[in-house]
Amino acid sequence: MAVLNGAHVLVTRPAHQADKLSRLILQRGGIAVRLPTLEIKPVDEVEKIKAKLALIDTFQWLVFVSANAVTMHNYYLDGGRMPLSHDMRFVAIGAATAQAMTLAGLPVDLVPSQGYSSEALLAMPQLQHIDGQSFMIVRGEGGREALATTLSNRGATVDYLDVYKRIIPELDISEVLSLLTQGKLDAITITSGEALQNLLIMLGERYQPLLFATHLVVISDRIGQMAAELGFKQIVVAASPSDTAILEAVTKCLTGE
């Protein structure tokens, strides 16, 4: 089904997460142009992380906020297994994170049935009455504070385990600039606010007017609002962060189908 008719679609997912979306774009008749605007790296404080992992079973709730958090926490485990407590409940912020947990051999006790954000998780009945309970949030450096703030306001104690950092990759951007200046970059896909900001940094202020005029597909209203405030004019919000949903949003904005 070649409905994209050779359209060039920018895929900004980290390199290790870009294969599926790129393949789907190709199957739909488009051309996937890869430009990862984030690179996921382990943090440097290895001993500090290992010390926290050794005490992880003292927490009642362990919350993974992304698939990368699941993948990267394994990097620090001696022997490849996390100490598990029968009293601990394992939480995923969304379906993709839950899938990563299952693949890593971790249980999934709680995941939002709809939505894939801190807000969706916090709306669940199981997290309404948590006074005195303890949470460990596994995330990347500099993540959002909304989850921890609300849990604390509900009486819980919250700690963080930062297991990865996001950096701007050093890449050749000439192909993207060429497509952009020729008016041949048809759509941009963005899966985080940081990825969007990094894209602007990587391409430079000179090319921002061309970016702002290009179709932009994002995965949440929050990122869409950020994009609008930055200056993007044609924004479509995918139904979910899944690659299939992103592809459908790209198809809709480029073909109307």
Query: What pLDDT does residue 76 have?
Result: 67
Query: What pLDDT does residue 201 have?
Result: 96
A 10 A CB-CB count for 34 gives: 17
* Rounded to 5°, angle at Cα 12 from 212 and 172: 90
The rounded distance, in Å, linking the Cα atoms of 218 and 227 is 9
Q: How many residues appear in the chain? A: 257
- Residue type for position 202: M
Task: Give the count of alpha carbons within 13 A of 125, CB side only.
Answer: 1
The rounded distance, in Å, linking the Cα atoms of 185 and 179 is 5
The sheet carrying 235-237 orders its strands as 31-34, 8-11, 185-189, 215-218, 235-237
What is the domain partition of the chain in residue ranges? 8-38+169-255, 41-166
CATH of range 8-38+169-255; options 3.40.50.10090, 3.40.50.720, 3.30.710.10, 3.30.470.10: 3.40.50.10090
Query: What pLDDT does residue 211 have?
Result: 96
Q: Which CATH class is domain 41-166?
A: alpha beta
CB-neighbour burial class of residue 207 (10 A; exposed 0-12, middle 13-18, buried 19+) = middle
Q: Residue 136 forms beta bridges with which residues?
A: 62, 159
Residues of the chain with pLDDT below 70 are: 1, 75-86
Query: What pLDDT does residue 46 have?
Result: 81
Contact (CB, 8 A) for 40 and 14: yes
Let me know if the fold of 8-38+169-255 is the same as that of 41-166. yes
Q: Which two tokens stand for residue 221?
A: 């209203």
